[in-house]
A and B are shown apart, each in its own frame.
Chain A
């Protein structure tokens, strides 16, 4: 469904991604794990069209999307839950969700999807008229996920959804991610929390200083000595 081929990204003189190739098949959960500054966020931002690669190609459902603008990529069916949630704090919860459906014109269906998001995250329904900035960290993460779902994506990019959340909440968010996947959305998940990411992933890639150094099924990597040492705390 999604394929990155030999992608290079530069920030000025900084060579942030080096010859990255990865694949996500329809229906999968694929995770990209790595330490701080490895290039995980850069990879997702490149897929989303916020950064242009200096080399390589990206295809989505057989179409080239490198070089497309961010709105075009949303339109093609890719939504991105960014690192740090990036909700609109001075707008209400409902307005945030409406913005998620910005490119859609099917009013009735949008309303239905909003109800689905509220059913999935009941707390958002109670807070729908409240400014999003007043939500707790966990609630903001739910809003960011709900907002991305409002675009009815085929592929959902998620950047460290566990960041800054208590362990119990992390489990909740991850079971929701699994549920979203089971209902038909393909997921590319970036995490530092390798443990939990590998537990739900079909396949995984490990990125170190801008290069993919390892790939395999979620199970394989969870049992790999190299991964245990570097990312799973022994």
Chain B
């Protein structure tokens, strides 16, 4: 039992990080139907910005977190303006190829500037652990992951449902023309969406740095892919879906490596995705009938 609870806690930590990344995928997809393959790399940049803040600027966790989120949101806005906006009316495949190009650009630019080496993240939170029960250990990093994730999800929920920008975002993702007829400037709303999604990825980057201790320029590839899977799993374009998808994949992955073999952890996650999509092609929370022409 203790073993199971331990695995669950570890799984929730990892899942929270996937969820934070998956939200950006799903929000961007919801609004411009683009799978932003560069999103995992924005998360990597977030980790590096946090690294610079902590290691070279001697900042604490929270200032580093905020700076990293702001930097990533600016990066997201710039990428959208330069790379995606000119392709707004191009085919989906052209936009997808551009996204892959942006991804490679971010990876290799980082490699050029920071080097390809794996860097050790400074342990800013120290080495504190808690024992809520016999045989279960929760470390301070996990507590920060949960706390930051919960706060960010609450803020996001508030923005999307209670603010004017959030309502505009939902309107644009539901019907772009109708939204324009309300006077909504869709370009602005798309910028906001990239900003928010990228800020969440930046937060995930710094959390991963302190949790796993290491970062490298290609660290965004696999978690990016898994977060994308999480978004599809939950129903792409649906915000709560990304949350559920991220947590589910994180927990499954941890359980499989804990009880089975870590060799299979990714295979099992993908197998479950395929199963869900076979039964429900639009994902867990997706509506099958809503697909518009």
Residues of A bordering B, CB below 8 Å: 48-50, 69-71, 74-75, 79-80, 82, 86-91, 95, 98-100, 102-103, 147, 151
Binds A, one of B166-174, B228-236, B255-263: B166-174
Bound: A48/B171 CA distance, A? 18
Distance in angstroms from A211 CB to nearest chain B CB is 25
What are the residues of chain A within 8 A of B167 when measuring CB–CB?
A: 91, 95, 98-99
Known: A71-B183, A88-B170. A50 touches B177 (CB 8 A): yes
Interface residues on B, range: 10 to 19
Bound: A80/B179 CA distance, A? 11
Contact partner of A82 (CB less than 8 A), chosen from B164, B181, B183, is: B181
**Contact yes or no, A74 B181, CB < 8 A:** yes
Inter-chain pairs besides A70-B181, A102-B164, A103-B182, 13 sampled, C-beta below 8 Å: A48-B181, A49-B180, A50-B177, A69-B180, A69-B185, A71-B183, A82-B181, A86-B181, A88-B175, A90-B170, A91-B171, A102-B183, A151-B183
Bound: A82/B177 CA distance, A? 9
Distance in angstroms from B158 CB to nearest chain A CB is 15
Bound: A165/B226 CA distance, A? 47
> With an 8 A cutoff between CB atoms, is B222 at the interface?
no
Q: 25 A-B Cβ contacts within 8 A?
A: A48-B181, A49-B180, A50-B177, A70-B180, A70-B183, A71-B183, A71-B184, A71-B185, A74-B183, A75-B183, A86-B177, A87-B178, A88-B174, A89-B174, A90-B170, A91-B174, A95-B167, A99-B167, A99-B179, A99-B184, A102-B182, A102-B183, A102-B184, A103-B182, A151-B183
Distance in angstroms from A50 CB to nearest chain B CB is 6
**Contact yes or no, A82 B178, CB < 8 A:** yes
Bound: A98/B184 CA distance, A? 12
Distance in angstroms from B90 CB to nearest chain A CB is 15
**Contact yes or no, A88 B180, CB < 8 A:** no
Closest to A87 in B: B178
Known: A89-B174, A102-B164, A102-B168. A50 touches B183 (CB 8 A): no
What are the residues of chain B within 8 A of A86 when measuring CB–CB?
A: 175, 177-178, 181
Contact partner of A79 (CB less than 8 A), chosen from B168, B170, B171, B181, is: B181
**Contact yes or no, B182 A100, CB < 8 A:** yes
Bound: A82/B178 CA distance, A? 8
Bound: A95/B164 CA distance, A? 10
Closest 5 CB pairs of A and B: A74-B183, A70-B180, A103-B183, A86-B178, A71-B183
What are the residues of chain A within 8 A of B183 when measuring CB–CB?
A: 70-71, 74-75, 102-103, 151
Distance in angstroms from B61 CB to nearest chain A CB is 37
Distance in angstroms from B2 CB to nearest chain A CB is 43
Bound: A151/B185 CA distance, A? 15
What are the residues of chain A within 8 A of B174 when measuring CB–CB?
A: 88-91
Bound: A49/B175 CA distance, A? 16
**Contact yes or no, A99 B171, CB < 8 A:** yes
**Contact yes or no, A50 B181, CB < 8 A:** yes
What are the residues of chain A within 8 A of B168 when measuring CB–CB?
A: 99, 102
Bound: A74/B180 CA distance, A? 9
What are the residues of chain A within 8 A of B178 when measuring CB–CB?
A: 82, 86-88
Bound: A91/B160 CA distance, A? 12
Bound: A190/B174 CA distance, A? 25
What are the residues of chain B within 8 A of A69 when measuring CB–CB?
A: 180, 185
